Every structure is written in C-alpha cells, then in structure tokens.
Amino acid sequence: MSTQKISEEESLLLFFSGSLPGVLRFDDPDADIILRSCDHHEFRVLKLYLIKVSPVLQELIQSASNSHAAANATVALASVQLSDSGATLSGLLTFILPILPILPSTIEQTMILLSAAQKYNMDIILDRIRAVLSLQNPSFIGSKTAFQAYSLAQKYGLRQEALQAARSTLTFSFALEDLEDKLGTIPGIYLHELWKYHQNVRAHLRVDLTAFRTNGIPSTMASQPCGYGTLTRLGEYINSIAEFPALFDITEFHMLLSRHSSAWGYQCHCANIPSQAIHAFWMALTDVVHSCMTKVSVDYL
C-alpha cells in the first residue's frame, strides 16, 4: 500500500482541519526499529521514543531485537508486528515523536487511537491526546454526539471517555420518546449501563439537594422580601433538578425567576433581587451538583 509524506506546513494544516489523509510515512534515516501494521504499512523510527512512553512496546521491541540478533538476519533492522492499522499507528506516532500531533477525523477513529495508547500503557500519550481533544470546538464529546461517543467508549474500554459521554447524556430525560432515534445506534447492554448511571445520578441528587433545600440556600437569597413564594419556587426548582438534571442550567433558573415575577406583577420584588444574591445561590447550588457528580463518577470508574 502506498504511503504519503507531508511537510511540516501540510501537517500543521491537517491538524487544524482535523483530517488524516490515509497513512503518514515515517522513514527516519537513523531508524533502529520497524513497526508493522496489520494492513502491511511499515514505520521506520527510533525505538528510544517508543520505549520511553510504553513498557509494552519496550518488551516487544526487546524481544524482536533479540530474535533478530540470534537469527543473524540479513535485513538491517528488526521489526515488530502490531495488530493496529496503519492509520492508527501513524496517528499514534504523531503524538509520540517530536512532530505536530494529528487527530483522526471521526469519533470512532479517535476512540481507536485512545484505545491503542491505553493498550500499550502509554499514560503520558493518553494525557497528551486528551489535552489536544479538550481544545476542540465543538467539543469532541457533547450533547449531539453523547450517545455515539458513549457506545464507542464502552466498546473500546475507555472509561474516562464513557463517563464524559454519560454526563453529556444528562441533557436528555432518558424517556423513551427522547431515545427513539438513539435505540438503533447503541447496543442494549450499553443503554442499560447508561440507564443505571442516570438512576445513580438522580439518587445522589435527591439526597444532596434535599439537604441543600433545607439548610444550604444562602441567606442573601432566602431573606429576599417577597411574600409570594420565592422560596417555594426555588424549592420546586431544586427538586426538579433531581428528576431532570438537564434543568440545572443558569438560563432555566433565570426563566424561573422571570416567570415568578411576571405572575405576581408589581406586587413581587423578585425582579429586583441583587445580582450578588443570585450569584451566591447559583454558586452554592453548583457546588452541590458538581460534588454529587464527582461521587457518582468515583462509583462509575
């Protein structure tokens, strides 16, 4: 199969466009090892870079080098046969070698790349790939891609990405009508795991938000001079988050205050609540919700 060699300028362009045209060529003139992909691509590289980031590759390279020396092979370099595709290996090498990293163009290819780094125990490279992914806009995993990303993360054993995707699915109520167009894209076993995650989140939120509603609302908000149910409305809103976590949204909160003020007209002073009081309430509520998510994440992982 043919390979394609690109300049640093082309590599930079590819990085920002998010595309990977086939398999990149790695042919270091000082190479001391050959990596072979399952689809017959060869990558001539310096093994120093590989053994520094991967104990698994270090062992494979050592074994291949010993066998090469013992066989008095006529070929100059020892080779290591790997089970990964050329596209995956070339993408992985852009994060290992001192060149510009290049991300794959699809969610599945990216999950495969992460899975390969995880398989070879490349903790530093995993962090590097995730750091580059975190800079993407739109996000690599968001509400639009959450279910697909969750399914792929589960398929490739990526718990961190599965958790990130699971949290993104909280923007859905998980009612059957919301999932109708997702049922054909995610295996039932993964959908069941996701349902258990949603149930776990709601269970934790019910406990933590009940305590917050009773004792945690900041006094600056609780003492606002309105006799028309501000605290009742806040309590209803807090309760609703436990059942529908997607309602934990600053826009939803402001709409609640707006509807309450409109209902009572000039008799209600909630439209004049100081921004500091609103900010204090929202930050306190955010702390509770995020703390709850952290507890669920620990259980999940």
State pLDDT tens for residues 243-285: 889 889 888 888 877 776 676 555 566 666 778 888 888 999 9
The answer to whether position 117 is within a domain reads no
The answer to whether position 198 is within a domain reads yes
The answer to whether position 94 is within a domain reads yes
The answer to whether position 149 is within a domain reads no
Q: Is 139 helix (H, G, I), strand (E, B) or coil?
A: coil
**CB-CB contact of 273 with 178 (8 Å):** no
**CB-CB contact of 16 with 24 (8 Å):** no
Whether residue 292 has pLDDT greater than 70: yes
pLDDT value for 301: 58
How far, in Å, CA of 123 to CA of 107, rounded?
Answer: 20
- pTM over 0.75, yes/no: yes
Same domain, 92 and 195: no
Counting the structural domains of the chain, the total is 2
Domain end, chosen from 102, 127, 151, is at 102
How far, in Å, CA of 142 to CA of 134, rounded?
Answer: 11
Where is 185: in which H helix or E strand?
Answer: none
46-93 pLDDT per residue, tens: 999 999 999 999 999 999 999 888 877 667 899 999 999 999 999 999
The answer to whether position 271 is within a domain reads yes
The answer to whether position 220 is within a domain reads yes
Domain range for 218: 188-300
Domain end, chosen from 42, 71, 102, is at 102
Where is 60: in which H helix or E strand?
Answer: helix 55-70
pLDDT value for 15: 36
User: What mean pLDDT is predicted for residues 7-31?
Assistant: 59
Domain end, chosen from 46, 74, 102, is at 102
The answer to whether position 72 is within a domain reads yes
Whether residue 161 has pLDDT greater than 90: yes
From the list 219, 215, 208, 216, the residue with the least C-alpha distance to 242 is 208
Q: Is 259 helix (H, G, I), strand (E, B) or coil?
A: helix
**CB-CB contact of 204 with 296 (8 Å):** yes
- Sequence length of the chain is 301
The answer to whether position 290 is within a domain reads yes
From the list 152, 241, 249, the residue with the least C-alpha distance to 205 is 241
